[in-house]
A = this chain, B = another copy of it.
Amino acid sequence: MSLKIEIIGIGNELTSGRILDQNAGYAAGRLSSHGFQVTRILFISDRPRDIRSALLRAGRRAEAVVITGGLGGTLDDITAEVAARTFGRPLRLHRSLLNQIKKFLKNRGLPWDPLFEKMAWIPEGVELFHPRPKAAGFFLEEKGIPFFFLPGVPAEMHRLLDRQVIPRLLQDRPDQQVSKQRIYKIFGLLEPEINRRLQDLEQKDGSVQLGFYPNFPENHLTVLVRAEKAFQADQLLDKLEKEIEARLGDTIVGRNDETLESVLGELLRRKGLTLAVAESCTGGLIGHRITNISGSSDYFDRGLVVYSNRAKRDLLGVPARTLNRYGAVSKNTALAMAAGVRERSRSDLGLAVTGIAGPGGGTPEKPVGTVWIALASSEGARAGHYLFGGRRQQIKIMTAYTALDWVRRALQHDSLLLGR
């Protein structure tokens, strides 16, 4: 069984939403990836009673507790004081920490203030992490449960977590098992369907755990495995990957840190192909996503945002009669846009989208969310029709993502005209 850990974030700025947490979420991710089980994350205000009760309850439920915040020099930083009272360990002035603080202020040319002394009063019998002025975290054990008190400054908190807390927990961990994780990014299958296809891969003994979370417009799947040795964990992950690929097919857009754009860019680069885009309803979002990848200039030369009919005629040569007869949002216009941008830019591939992002502009025949996507290559061209739900921005995102995914799938299948 993996160690159960609770995380407590202390500070009015968290409960009031004035700042978004950057600590507990980080700690949860790092601890989980090492195979620990974070069972609760709690944010409370700087109130002594709440802090005391949170510490005591967490100590009863969990096997380790990580606390962040409230160790600074202002009056509302009371974590050390409340911890001292809660665990019956009086505060003691830590002289070497006090000297560090004085030196730090002197180096920065800042004046001494009595409030700074407060940061050097630490509960008796604790172990101080790296006595540094801005990161005076400490560690204590109460009834066999380790409590890690970390500062709220994210950079310092992350450092102490990675260098002090996790090594110490790993050292104490009763099981010597290794945990490894892979993430799969999926597009074109909804969560229930992914779940249905994969759920039997999960193992009740905890050796294989699957997690699903939507990350619009993708769905993410995490596969966490546990094994005696690292190489066994890798082997297990490889075996699972084959199975997952067989079951999900090319709905897997990327793995781990890969994005649709990075995968697409790598495919274009490997095949030595270039891509140009013509965007109507997405307004530039497709070009923006493509150029989020450093080095995209190797395969992306230009994009045309043709918002008006005049722009479609001027810049892409879409015939006026096509626009008049079929409308700007139509198969014929999309095909003419894709062919036009491909030819005029002398690119290998031309990608085009045209649609109604709303909320205005819909008609019974072409409601809001109606989108045509077209892809042209030397092999010819094809177009596809979609009806996306949601609001303006979601329709734009779905359109851009679906269009880029057309290119990825075509390149992966080595057939530029392969339909979905």
Contacts and interface: CB of A to CB of B under 8 A. Distances in A.
A156 to B, nearest CB: 9
Interface string A281-302: 1111111101110111100111
Interface in A307-354: 307-308, 310-311, 314-315, 345
A76 B287 contact: no
Contact of A16 (B32, B391, B393): B32
A155 B75 CA distance: 37
Contacts of A295: 360
B191 A73 contact: yes
Contacts of A222: 16, 18
A235 interface: no
Contacts of A314: 302, 345
Interface residues of A, number: 109
A62 to B, nearest CB: 12
A396 B288 CA distance: 9
A281 B153 CA distance: 24
A306 interface: yes
A19 interface: yes
A137 interface: no
A124 interface: no
A393 B158 CA distance: 15
Copies in the complex: 2
A129 interface: no
A342 B19 CA distance: 39
A391 B311 CA distance: 33
A13 interface: yes
Contacts of A290: 283-284
Contact of A284 (B284, B369, B386): B284
A13 B210 CA distance: 11
Contacts of A152: 214
Contact of A292 (B33, B39, B392): B392
23 contacts: A16-B222, A17-B31, A19-B213, A20-B21, A39-B44, A73-B192, A107-B387, A115-B196, A155-B391, A277-B305, A279-B284, A279-B287, A282-B288, A283-B290, A283-B303, A285-B285, A287-B307, A291-B307, A295-B360, A296-B307, A302-B304, A302-B308, A302-B311
Given A288-B288, A292-B396, 14 more contacts: A13-B211, A16-B38, A17-B28, A40-B44, A108-B388, A155-B216, A279-B284, A283-B284, A283-B290, A284-B305, A294-B360, A301-B311, A302-B307, A304-B305
